[in-house]
C-alpha cells in the first residue's frame, strides 16, 4: 500500500536517514522516499499507517494526521 505521510522536524540529512531507518526497522521490505524540504515521506508498505507513524514519532518527529 502506498502512503504519503507529512513529517515535521526533519532539518538535515541525518533526520532523513533516521526517518527512513525507523520505517525499515519495522518493515525491512518497505520502499521509502523522504523529501525533507516538502516534509513528505512516501512509503510502500504492507503495514498500516498507524504503525509507520508510530515508528517515526518514536524517533522524535511529528507526523500529521
| Number of structural domains found in the chain | 1
pLDDT in tens, 5-55: 999 999 999 999 999 999 999 999 999 999 999 999 999 999 999 999 999
Question: Residue 2: which pLDDT band, with cuts at 50, 70 and 90?
Answer: very high
Domain residues for the domain of 37 are 2-63
Cell numbers for 46, please give them: 504492507
Report field, pTM of the whole predicted structure over 0.85: yes
pLDDT exceeds 90 at position 4: yes
- Identify the CATH number of the domain in which residue 28 sits: 3.30.70.100
Amino acid at each position: 500500500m502506498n502512503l504519503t505521510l507529512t513529517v515535521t522536524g526533519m532539518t538535515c540529512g541525518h533526520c532523513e536517514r533516521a526517518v527512513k531507518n525507523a520505517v525499515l526497522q519495522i518493515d525491512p521490505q518497505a520502499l521509502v522516499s523522504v523529501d525533507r524540504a516538502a516534509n513528505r515521506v512516501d512509503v510502500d508498505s504492507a503495514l498500516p499507517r498507524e504503525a509507520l507513524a508510530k515508528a517515526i514519532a518514536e524517533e522524535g518527529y511529528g507526523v500529521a494526521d
